[in-house]
Structure 1
Amino acid sequence: MSLDDLTDAVDAAYADLGDGHALALDRETKTELALLEAGLGPEETDDLLKRAVHLLFQSTVETGRLDAHLRREYGVTYDEYLSGMTYEEMTGAPDPPENDGRRYQF
């Protein structure tokens, strides 16, 4: 798979979400969500779900797990997706340099 395949998959998933996405929650998730709602007091439960997605996304990017999955499935990294170009297209070199322990910064 390629960068174009990843872009198509993201666009398709985004379109499938629509505006009225309803989730079926299991008992454990409902209990945890209820506790978070009681403790944090958001205006709406949807606010907690949005924050949860943001936190999961950020931690997955920062730990490099997203890159590992993207490389396995599409052969590209998150940076390549953001730039719209593969590392080879950007530099002419076949492999990206070592990350030297740094993670993505927001």
Structure 2
Amino acid sequence: MSLDDLDEDITDVAGELGESIDVTLDRETRTELAMLTAALGPTDPDELVRRAVHAFFQQQVDTGRLDFQLRDQYDVTYDEYLSGMTFDEMTGGTGGIGGATQGDPDDRRYQF
């Protein structure tokens, strides 16, 4: 798979999700959401769910788990997705680890 495949899959899933989703809450999740809503005071529990998704996403990025999964599934990283090009394309490299060429020691910074 590739960067184009990832972009296509994200577009497809975002379209399928639409503007809202129905989520089934188990008792524990419902109680925790109620506690957070009462304690933090947003007028809408949906706002807490949005915050939770943002926090989970950021955690996955910060720990490298998102990159690990993206590399496994699509052979790209989150940074490559954001830039719209792979490290090979950014560096003009065609060989070596992460696009590093064998002849230029300055290209080592792009190796994983």
Normalised by the size of structure 1, how large is the TM-score?
A: 0.87
In structure 2, what is the Cα distance between the partners aligned to 1:87 and 1:59? 23
Q: CA offsets, 1:45-83, max 9 Å, x none?
A: 011001001101111101111000000000000010001
In structure 1, what is the Cα distance between the partners aligned to 2:8 and 2:20? 22
Query: For residue 9 of structure 1, what is the amino acid of its counterpart?
Result: D
Structure 2: stretches of 5+ with no match in the other structure: 99-109
In structure 1, what is the Cα distance between the partners aligned to 2:25 and 2:16? 19
In structure 2, what is the Cα distance between the partners aligned to 1:87 and 1:64? 17
Partner of 1:97 in structure 2?
Answer: 111
Partner of 2:72 in structure 1?
Answer: 72
**Map of 1:31-46 to 2, 5 A cutoff?**
31-46=31-46
Paired residues, number: 98
TM-fit CA distance, 1:22: 1.2
RMSD of aligned alpha carbons: 1.1
Q: CA offsets, 1:77-98, max 9 Å, x none?
A: 0010001101101102341434
Q: Percent identity?
A: 55
Normalised by the size of structure 2, how large is the TM-score?
A: 0.82
TM-fit CA distance, 1:21: 1.4
1:29 aligned onto 2:29: yes
Partner of 1:17 in structure 2?
Answer: 17
Structure 1 segments (4+ residues) deviating >6 Å: none
TM-fit CA distance, 1:38: 1.0
Query: For residue 51 of structure 1, what is the amino acid of its counterpart?
Result: R
Structure exhibiting the larger radius of gyration computed from Cα positions: 2
